[in-house]
């Protein structure tokens, strides 16, 4: 275990992840020795004690990854006001263009 801890310290690793279904004893021991965090990361949602669905488990994993890599919470690009304005204007422009230049209809056909 000393070699693992030495490598963790030399590489600047900030955390280790473990599968909660396999237990955390080894991960916690290494984390304590290396003075880093040990965080749970579900590789499957079978056996989840909270009976969560796949999407919920993956969202929880994402939060653990953010914690582990010390990432700041960020908005999705679709939640950005400038992007919303751009999409609204471009969509409106395309509707106006279609209506004015294509026989006063918004859409003659649509591809699926």
pLDDT at 41 (0 to 100): 84
pLDDT at 28 (0 to 100): 92
- Give the position of tokens 């600047």: 12
DSSP 70-112: TPPP---GGG-HHHHHHHHHHHHHHHHHHHHHTTS-S-S----
pLDDT at 60 (0 to 100): 84
* Mean pLDDT for all residues in the chain: 75
pTM over 0.75: no
Q: What percentage of the chain exceeds 90 in pLDDT?
A: 7
pLDDT at 66 (0 to 100): 83
pLDDT at 100 (0 to 100): 75
Tens digit of each residue's pLDDT (9 = 90 or more) over 64-89: 888 887 755 555 555 566 666 766 66
- Residues with pLDDT less than 50, the chain: 112
């Amino acid at each position: 275990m000393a070699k693992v801890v030495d490598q963790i310290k030399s590489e600047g690793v900030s955390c280790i992840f473990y599968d909660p279904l396999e237990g955390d004893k080894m991960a916690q021991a290494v984390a304590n020795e290396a003075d880093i965090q040990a965080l749970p990361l579900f590789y499957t949602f079978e056996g989840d004690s909270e009976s969560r669905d796949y999407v919920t488990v993956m969202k929880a994993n994402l939060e653990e990854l953010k914690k582990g890599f010390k990432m700041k919470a960020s908005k999705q690009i679709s939640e950005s006001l400038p992007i919303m304005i751009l999409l609204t204007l471009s969509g409106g422009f395309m509707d106006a263009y279609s209506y004015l230049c294509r026989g006063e209809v918004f859409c003659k056909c649509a591809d699926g």
